[in-house]
Amino acid sequence: MIIVLKQSAGENGLNRVVEHIEKEGLSTHISQGTEVTIVGVVGDKSRLDIDRLKASPFVERVIAVTESYKLANHKFHPEPTSFKVKNTSIGPDNLTVMAGPCAVESLEQMLTIARAVKKSGATILRGGAYKPRTSPYSFQGLEEDGLKYLKAASDETGLATICEVTSAHAIESAVKYVDMLQVGARNMQNFELLKEIGKSSLPVLLKRGMSATIDEWLNAAEYIMSEGNTNIALCERGIRTFETSTRNTLDLSAVLVLKEKTHLPVIVDPSHATGVRNYVTPLSKAAVACGADGLMIEVHNDPEHALSDGPQSLTFDQFDEAMEALAPYAKLSGRG
């Protein structure tokens, strides 16, 4: 941690700041420049409250040099993480494809979709049973019934399943039926939910918040991990920017930043990021080309009549073509 003092701090201010730090058992290095004085802090900074320092009348800026997340940090965990989800695994050795509808609509629908996406090569079946929708008057999901349909589809096809959870109550139900839990973008900083999920033993897909920095995202993962659950995959799904041609702006550089900062696997969701069917396959290729460990793709038996997010869903044929087109990219990135 680096503390830049105000020009007005003077000898007295410097002494006060140093005293404050040493009282916490840490040591300091002072660097007196021609224009500014800088105090470097040496030792376990978790004992210092950064906000308290910033509030000092002598302090101009406090710059954190080390990250606040530890369990998710690549520095302390150099090997990439890999974990099982039912019969499949997420990690550096294969390309995970999660496919399925935005919302679970019926048993029939889930069986049909599960068979189709399995045939094309997906390994995890997705489907929302608890839908966070902007308006209270939009379709909110089938809840426990939806979970049952997912389970039935899994029982028949052998596919692993994933479902978003939005409350402690939903977690309780979901753990009975599905193989992986999803935290949606809107709940990325719903810390109560993260803690609850941290207590479950199912692997987790943590979507990036719409305007979350990568640092905040990794701290959100840390919330889950600090409760004991370390099987987490991070899912880039587009960030909010000024550009409105696509629903969000897919941030593929984030894949590379994450690969440097964390050992957790990274999934990319081009369907939600863009909201446009025609962009899903090319951006899936791009995601694999730059190192993603997997994809989340919306597939629907009848997109035109989907209850939620139809415009971005692939038909069965489109998904099949997409999987075929992706195969050489997976091979090129060593995930063949």
Q: Which residues inside 60-79 make contact with its own copies, applying CB under 8 A?
A: 61, 63, 65-66, 68-69, 75
Binder of its own copies out of 19, 24, 31, 93 (CB under 8 A): 31
Binder of its own copies out of 186, 202, 301, 320 (CB under 8 A): 186
The 10 Å CB-count burial string (b at 16+, else e) for 313-329 is bbbbebbbebbeebeeb
Residue closer to its own copies, measured from CB, 179 or 222: 222
Residue 166 interacts with its own copies (CB under 8 A)? yes
Residue closer to its own copies, measured from CB, 123 or 190: 190
Residue 211 interacts with its own copies (CB under 8 A)? yes
Contacts with its own copies: how many residues (CB under 8 A)? 107
CA gap 210, 219 in Å, rounded: 15
CA gap 294, 76 in Å, rounded: 24
**Burial status of residue 38 (CB atoms within 10 A of its CB: 0-12, 13-18, 19 or more):** middle
Binder of its own copies out of 180, 239, 295, 330 (CB under 8 A): 239
Pair type for strands 96-100 and 294-298: parallel
Q: Tell me how far, at minimum, the Cβ of 72 lies from its own copies, in Å.
A: 11
Residue 199 interacts with its own copies (CB under 8 A)? no
**Burial status of residue 232 (CB atoms within 10 A of its CB: 0-12, 13-18, 19 or more):** buried
Binder of its own copies out of 94, 107, 144, 216 (CB under 8 A): 216
What lies within 8 Å, CB to CB, of 222 at 6+ separation is 68, 69, 70, 71, 72
Residue 335 interacts with its own copies (CB under 8 A)? no
Residue 176 interacts with its own copies (CB under 8 A)? no
Q: Tell me how far, at minimum, the Cβ of 188 lies from its own copies, in Å.
A: 8
Residue 143 interacts with its own copies (CB under 8 A)? no
Residue 321 interacts with its own copies (CB under 8 A)? no
What angle is formed at CA 323 by the lines to CA 209 and CA 186, rounded to 5 degrees?
A: 10
- Whether the Cβ atoms of residue 134 and residue 332 lie closer than 8 Å to each other: no
What lies within 8 Å, CB to CB, of 135 at 6+ separation is none
Residue 305 interacts with its own copies (CB under 8 A)? yes
Binder of its own copies out of 19, 22, 49, 172 (CB under 8 A): 49
Binding mask 266-295 for its own copies (x = CB under 8 A): -------xx-xxxx--xx-xxxxxxx----
227 closest CA partner among 197, 194, 196, 198: 198
Residue closer to its own copies, measured from CB, 156 or 325: 325
The 10 Å CB-count burial string (b at 16+, else e) for 250-273 is bbbebbebbbebbbbbbbbbbbbb
Residue 301 interacts with its own copies (CB under 8 A)? no
Binder of its own copies out of 129, 232, 233, 250 (CB under 8 A): 250
124 closest CA partner among 89, 170, 171: 89
Binder of its own copies out of 19, 22, 29, 176 (CB under 8 A): 29
Q: Which residues inside 102-131 make contact with its own copies, applying CB under 8 A?
A: none
Q: Which tokens in the block code for residue 285?
A: 């290729």
